[in-house]
A and B are shown apart, each in its own frame.
Chain A
Amino acid sequence: DAGITQSPRHKVTETGTPVTLRCHQTENHRYMYWYRQDPGHGLRLIHYSYGVKDTDKGEVSDGYSVSRSKTEDFLLTLESATSSQTSVYFCAISESAGTLEQYFGPGTRLTVT
């Protein structure tokens, strides 16, 4: 998985609780992405980062925030989890912009009850 880890790999949480997912890379790539994947919707971009402390919104950013304080770590936070955020979350990295030559982490399966 190109030196990308995600933690936790599985999580069950209750509606209304905060949740933070972590993506860690050892490739020193500048760009990092968070996606969610749901049946019938495919992969959808939540947020991305183009450098330390530089982030931007993707297609489905409502209810999510991100932070990147170090090149290697990109955190995704659900401030108050809802059942609609039950999904599989993938982190991805790429060396440069304007490319989809992205490398994905193993994913985190999140269930909000």
Chain B
Amino acid sequence: QKEVEQNSGPLSVPEGAIASLNCTYSDRGSQSFFWYRQYSGKSPELIMSIYSNGDKEDGRFTAQLNKASQYVSLLIRDSQPSDSATYLCAVYSSDDKIIFGKGTRLHILP
């Protein structure tokens, strides 16, 4: 059973600090990795995709991928109260399966 694991949280971070969200996956052959943000009562929204080892930056967001360790992370710099949401890690596995983690709840403290 291929899995994507995330700490459910809540992760509480002071406003202005860096929020670090982590995700591990079991399928070593996975090639595509994604982060979605979901506000309470709303649908998931794609915020980052990453396909190769290293860092990918987009504004205040940085996705990090380490395939050897089967680890994906999302950093949010200068955290804002509007970043409070659940963040879903998603992986496209080697057998063309779409697997979502259960999400990490992030709470930015004003």
Contacts and interface: CB of A to CB of B under 8 A. Distances in A.
A77 B18 CA distance: 44
Task: Give the dominant DSSP class at B's interface.
Answer: strand
Interface string B32-61: 101000000011111001000000000000
Contact of B45 (A97, A99, A104): A104
A45 B43 CA distance: 15
Interface in A32-89: 33, 40-45, 58-59
Interface string B83-110: 0000010111000111011110000000
Task: Give the dominant DSSP class at A's interface.
Answer: loop
B49 A101 contact: yes
Contacts of A98: 32, 92, 96
Contact of B102 (A33, A42, A59, A103): A42
Interface residues of B, number: 19
A106 B88 CA distance: 16
A45 B96 CA distance: 12
Contacts of B88: 42-43
Given A103-B46, A106-B42, 10 more contacts: A40-B102, A41-B102, A42-B101, A45-B98, A97-B96, A99-B32, A100-B90, A104-B45, A107-B42, A107-B43
22 contacts: A1-B43, A40-B102, A41-B102, A42-B88, A42-B101, A42-B102, A43-B44, A59-B97, A90-B43, A90-B44, A97-B96, A99-B32, A99-B92, A100-B32, A100-B92, A101-B46, A103-B46, A104-B43, A104-B45, A106-B42, A107-B42, A107-B43
Interface of B: 32, 34, 42-46, 49, 88, 90-92, 96-98, 100-103
Interface of A: 1, 33, 40-45, 58-59, 90, 97-107
